[in-house]
Amino acid sequence: MIFKHKFEVGLDDVNLNYKMTDRAILRCFEEIASKHSDSIQNGLEDIGAQNLTWILIEWTVDIDMRPKYGDKISVRTWIKPSLTRYIYRDFEIRQGSKVCVRATSKWAIINLKDKTIARASKELLDAYQPEENEAIPTYSLGRLHVLEKYDEHRQVAIRKSDIDINQHVNNLNYLHLINELMDFGEQFNHFRIIYKKEVKYGDKITVCRQNTDGTAYFLIKDQNDQPRAIIECR
């Protein structure tokens, strides 16, 4: 089943050129994913009652055209069939029949008691009515690795306002962290984010950047040089 919802691009959603930011795009995707789960009684409160929660592991986003301020957009999402512990969800943003943004994502259900991955039941997956089509073919995606060196480094303080209901830095706010090593107005049409380990309030975080052949590679690491997130933008 393809789940659809309409949004209007507002003031908080746009950059200096009045076009939709990466963070606003991801916020639309997370919002519609939540609405989709709510519609089959598997939303945050529903799984929370079972001591479970959704955890996002990875994003891949391709932007063909950024919607602008005031645009009315249709956002679509669906679950793909899976035989693994992970759940794969795809997204599109459309204006009329034109696809402006495509994305794929990887999720897990975490048991809050022991912090382990809980396998999604067949009944749960069937409730989503998985779709075979792919917004971005996953076979085309390689692996992201930590580079041997990064030319730029900056320590970033984690604010209380960065923390979400899971008591760690909200997935969207990782984009705020890498903004500290980006110019005003700098943007990319493709980005991938792999969340390696949660960032909590009080963690000492360093953001690193390396530019290679038109691609910007970012690393978010802790005081022990352990990677918390790897991000690729081009």
C-beta neighbour count of 108 within 10 angstroms:
18
The pTM of this model reads 0.91
- Which residues are registered as beta bridge partners of 56? 107
207-229 residue pLDDT tens: 999 999 889 999 999 999 999 99
C-beta neighbour count of 77 within 10 angstroms = 27
CA 108/CA 154 separation, integer angstroms: 31
Q: Read out DSSP for 143-201?
A: -----S--SEEEEEPPPGGGB-TTSSB-GGGHHHHHHTTS-TT---SEEEEEE-S---T
The pLDDT-based confidence of 232 (bands split at 50, 70, 90) is very high
Greater model confidence, 12 or 164:
12
Q: What percent of the chain has pLDDT over 70?
A: 99
Going along the chain from its start, the domains and CATH numbers come out as 3-140 (3.10.129.10), 152-233 (3.10.129.10)
pLDDT digits (tens, 9 = 90+) for 117-138: 888 778 888 888 999 999 998 8
